[in-house]
Amino acid sequence: MSDTSAGDWLRERLDDPWNGTMHAVVPHGFPAYARIMHPAIVRSLPDRPVPTFEEYERMSEAEHLRLRDQYVDEPATWAETASAFGTTLHPLAQWQRIVRTPPDGDWNLRLSPDGREFTGPIEGEIAPETLAIIAAHLAAHTTTPDAGFAALWEGRGGLVGFLGHGPSRDFLTFSDDPNHQAMLDRSIRNPLNNAFRKPTWQEGILSREISEGPRFRLPGRDHVLFRGAVSDFARPDWVLDVPWRDRAGEEHGFPPSAQNPSILWPDDHAWTLVSEVDYDSTIVAGSAELVAAICADERLEAFPIPENADLTWDADEVNR
């Protein structure tokens, strides 16, 4: 959009990014707030615990290959994870506390006492079908379901193009051909020579006109703003019709996909959805009725949270 002033009201309701509450990215002034947890991934073996890193290192290459074929990866809720680690799930829980991460440990990949391997939730992203579930509730709690705005953070996934020396993203293929490997090696070294070349336009998912257009600016985050019906996101296949559908990825064999909106709101400002790029959960600000409906939906793992909630990594005092 050439005019991004439609988001001014939201910017005015945000706090200083360093104040420690969710209102660095989630607007103040709504009656209620819901936190929707992004799912984790649990890896298990059908007949024994997942090997520790030390055990894996002692295995042969043949054992590694056999093991890879036996792994089972499944989505895991925060409740399942807390049960596996003997911790407490609550509305302000933080992942690294749930999985009992030591001070110098890797919080994203943790082995539970029962031998399963848990990988942390993806930050800033929710599955299209999950957004569709949420959006159905959102559309039912606004007087303008067919008019609203979607803001996408410009820094994710080659969304926008730019003037530069390298592509906004690469689609790599793997081969045993040594000539192919040599080509990849040369492409990796090319940035060392790029300083002497004239910048050229590097295509992104969006057109050059949109890529070079105005931004909806929030503290620390610039977004591309789109006009549209918020009810469209209530369809599980909404990725097929948004203007930021990743058609270049499809040309390289990937299934249809599109970045989920970072921020979504209707014309009547009845609610706001925020999937902040650094958050492992999506926040909905709206009416008490909307939050109650979202939290009661068994397809979602959601909790009501208070205004001024602290969702920073060290805020989980229950599981310390």
Query: Does 185 share its domain with 294?
Result: no
If asked whether residues 254 and 141 sit together in one domain, one would say yes
Give domain status of residue 313, yes or no. Answer: no
Q: Are 251 and 297 part of one and the same domain?
A: yes
Task: Enumerate residues 6+ apart whose C-beta is below 8 A from 320.
Answer: 97
DSSP-derived pairing of the beta strands 263-266 and 148-153: antiparallel
Q: So what's the pLDDT on residue 46?
A: 78
The answer as to whether 44 is a domain residue is yes
CA–CA–CA angle 168, 258, 223 (5° rounding)? 65
CA distance 305 to 64: 44
Q: Are residues 129 and 268 located together in one domain of the fold? A: yes
96 with 70, same domain: the answer is yes
Q: Is 152 inside a domain boundary?
A: yes
106 vs 152: CA distance, rounded Å: 29
* 276 in the same domain as 262: yes
CB 239 within 8 A of CB 128: yes
Q: Are residues 46 and 114 in the same domain?
A: yes
Asked if 179 and 301 count as a contact pair (C-beta separation under 8 A), the reply is: no
Domain membership flag for residue 276: yes
Question: Domain for residue 320, yes or no?
Answer: no
Are 221 and 274 in a shared domain? yes
- Angle, helices 128-139/288-296, rounded to nearest 10 degrees: 140
Which has the closest alpha carbon to 116: 64, 65, 80, 88? Answer: 80
Q: What's the gap between Cα 313 and its chain centre?
A: 16
Q: d(Cα 136, Cα 197) in Å, to the nearest integer?
A: 50
Residue 316 belongs to a domain: no
Same domain, 196 and 207: no
Question: What tokens were used for 272?
Answer: 């706001």
Domain-embedded: residue 135: yes
Here the tokens at position 226 are: 């789109």
Closest CA to 302 of 41, 137, 87, 91: 91
Q: What is the mean pLDDT of each run of 10 residues along the chain (320 residues)?
A: 89 85 95 98 81 77 75 92 96 96 88 89 95 98 97 89 64 52 50 64 85 91 94 96 92 92 97 95 98 98 97 90
Which pLDDT score, from 0 to 100, does residue 252 have?
87
Strand order in the sheet with 40-44: 72-76, 40-44, 117-119, 109-111
Range of the domain at 178: 174-202
- The span from the CA of 237 to the CA of 128, in Å, is 7
What do you get for the CA distance between the two ends of the chain, in Å? 45
Whether 312 is in a domain gets the answer no
**Does residue 24 share a domain with residue 137?**
yes
258 and 132 housed in the same domain: yes
Whole-number pLDDT of residue 71:
80
Q: pTM of this prediction?
A: 0.85
pLDDT at 300: 98
Task: State how many domains the chain has.
Answer: 3
* Residues 220 and 114 both lie in one domain: no
With helix as H, strand as E and coil as C, how does 5-51 read? HHHHHHHCCCCCCCCCCHHHCCCCCCCEEEEEECCEEEEECCCCCCC
Rounded CA separation 231/139 (Å): 5
